[in-house]
Structure 1
Amino acid sequence: MSESLPLLRADCANCFALCCVALPFAKSNDFAVNKPAGTPCKNLQQDFRCGIHTRLRDQGFRGCTVFDCFGAGQQVSQVTFGGRDWRAHPETRGPMFDVFPVMRQLHELLFYIDQALGLPDAAPVHPGLRRLLSETQEWTRADAGALAALDVAALRGRINTLLLETSELVRAKVPGRKKNHRGADLMGARLSGANLRGANLRGAYLIAADLSRADLRTADLIGADLRDANLRGADLRGAVFLTQPQLNAAQGDQHTQLPTPLTHPTHWL
């Protein structure tokens, strides 16, 4: 990650538990209860810490263990609102909770741009990416009113055009014919040991797919849904636009090979 970028990983010690309050969740396999947006989770303590943090999966809150705000929480808490928390300053509640999802998207976009700028094969689009990096960084420093009015979809569309070009440039270096599964429904697919090197898996539904021992080197995985996907023994080195939240939602083991700087989730065997 570039030294000029904010921390693009959650720093919960410097956040006012925004993901535990601002966001809604529905009772499901990921959450034990329903919770509307703007309402504190029942497990949230007065010090903004989770009362069951070490037992989230056992207590039915698996969804909390796979979520990452890409550092948006501390940015909103400490920069946008200058360290004023929503409990001590109740007038910040609505604006803060409205801005958090916007900031999360901006930080996710910064992650993708930063990753693209680190790929030498994507050099032809680096100038455009740097301009969008600067613009997106400026938005992360904007005030709450400007952020709430930002058309994030339009900004994302402009960035995605260059991310797509990045993907094409990088995967073109992979020899042989590459599979195109963009947006494909591959839920539960049996892909154990499959050669998916350099494949286009953008937005693919890979929920519960068996990708054990699959070769996913340099595959484009932006937006791919990897919930409960079996990545045991898979090779993901050089995978393009893979994020930590995607890995957190999947299953893997010590033999799963990952690109730097992503790490093996603690729940993997």
Structure 2
Amino acid sequence: MPETRNNQMIRSMLRPECEKCFGLCCVALPFSNSADFAFNKQAGVPCSNLQQDFRCRIHSGLKEKGFKGCTAFECFGAGQKVSQITFHGVDWHEDAETARNMFAVFPKMIMLHELLWYLQMSMLRTASKPIYNEIYQAFDEIEQLTQLSSDSMMNLDLQLQHAKLNDLFLRTSELVWQEAQRQDMKLSRKKRKNYRSADLMGKKMSGADLVGANFRGAYLIAADLRNADLRAADFIGADLRDADLRGADLTGSIFLTQAQLNAAKGDAATKLPSELDRPHHWQQKVIIKRG
């Protein structure tokens, strides 16, 4: 087996530390007036709710004031990496050119850190042991890209990076499914359900057996997944906005992110993978299953 990695250190690196960032998500990224945002904002223009200390003026009431999209956003730790590493602690207020470069690099860093998140999730799965060496090598290569200068970062072909890793993620997902089959004899006789890129918006799947289901790139917006069995399911790229996960079992699911959970609905009965946090805005009461 390859060298042991400090998973706690990696996890810390991939978690947002807003106090070490310069409010980049509130400036660099655009958003449009919609159910997720209360008004339009262009890329590179500070949100009117951003204060001089880089804190949000309405942070405690974002959802109530029409900024649900902000509560779901996740930068995977890219904000502090750009602020403190790429630009060495120099904030965008100090120079117009620095600001332009910082705002251009930030979205690229988010994508790289998201890839690191998927690779770390692959590392943590015992099922992926046959391809550990490839996963660790890929992690090192992507991590080195995050250390590039801002000029070099701007020239990165991120679509190429995604394409190079896609096969590795597919193989990890299949290994996770095969492990689930070995651990449960009932699954050994079942074919994996494939909802890849499927339109499942508003779909009624309450209580469904969806163990190991492939939801890669699926549209699960407002889908009813209450009390569904989603163990070992693959959620890479799935849109879970307003999906109802109350009482669902997501333990052992693969490639699920904090942003996806933040955008969904859940409660105290929702079972989550150990590496993810229960969103604070989820309902705390438990749904009682009816026979």
1:137 aligns with 2:146: no
User: How many percent of aligned residue pairs carry the same amino acid?
Assistant: 54
Aligned to 1:185: 199
1:87 aligns with 2:93: yes
1:201 paired residue among 195, 201, 215: 215
- Map residues 76-225 of structure 1 onto 2, 5 A cutoff: 76-175=82-181, 176=187, 177=190, 178-225=192-239
Q: CA deviation at 1:181?
A: 0.8
- Map residues 242-261 of structure 1 onto 2, 5 A cutoff: 242-261=256-275
Q: CA deviation at 1:3?
A: 4.8
Instruction: Find the aligned partners of 1:259 and 1:2 in 2 and give their Cα distance.
Output: 15
For the aligned residues, what is the CA RMSD? 1.1
Q: CA deviation at 1:4?
A: 5.4
Structure 1: 5+ residue stretches without partners = none
Instruction: Find the aligned partners of 1:72 and 1:12 in 2 and give their Cα distance.
Output: 10
Corresponding letter in the other structure for 1:66 = A
Instruction: Find the aligned partners of 1:70 and 1:135 in 2 and give their Cα distance.
Output: 17
Instruction: Find the aligned partners of 1:173 and 1:68 in 2 and give their Cα distance.
Output: 30
Instruction: Find the aligned partners of 1:173 and 1:85 in 2 and give their Cα distance.
Output: 47
- The worse-fitting range, judged by mean Cα deviation, of 165-174 and 27-36 is 165-174
2:7 paired residue among 2, 6, 12: 2
Q: CA deviation at 1:2?
A: 2.1
Deviations 1:113-147 (A, max 9, x none): 01101111111221111111111110111100111
Deviations 1:35-69 (A, max 9, x none): 00000001010111100000111111111000010
Corresponding letter in the other structure for 1:154 = L
Deviations 1:204-234 (A, max 9, x none): 1110000000000001111111000000000
1:199, 1:220 within 8 Å by CA — same for their partners in 2?
yes
For the residue of structure 2 that corresponds to 1:174, the secondary structure is: helix
- The worse-fitting range, judged by mean Cα deviation, of 117-126 and 222-231 is 117-126
1:240 paired residue among 251, 254, 262: 254
Instruction: Find the aligned partners of 1:60 and 1:66 in 2 and give their Cα distance.
Output: 12
For the residue of structure 1 that corresponds to 2:7, the secondary structure is: coil
Instruction: Find the aligned partners of 1:223 and 1:246 in 2 and give their Cα distance.
Output: 9
Q: CA deviation at 1:173?
A: 2.2
1:22, 1:98 within 8 Å by CA — same for their partners in 2?
yes
2:22 paired residue among 16, 21, 26: 16
Instruction: Find the aligned partners of 2:152 and 2:74 in 1 and give their Cα distance.
Output: 24
- The list of structure 1 runs, each at least 4 consecutive aligned residues, that deviate by more than 4 angstroms after superposition, is none
1:55 aligns with 2:69: no
Instruction: Find the aligned partners of 1:57 and 1:166 in 2 and give their Cα distance.
Output: 36
Aligned to 2:288: none
Q: CA deviation at 1:95?
A: 0.4
Instruction: Find the aligned partners of 1:91 and 1:203 in 2 and give their Cα distance.
Output: 36
Deviations 1:5-42 (A, max 9, x none): 36111110000000000000000000000000000001
Corresponding letter in the other structure for 2:154 = A
Instruction: Find the aligned partners of 2:169 and 2:130 in 1 and give their Cα distance.
Output: 12
Number of residues paired by the alignment? 269
Aligned to 2:244: 230
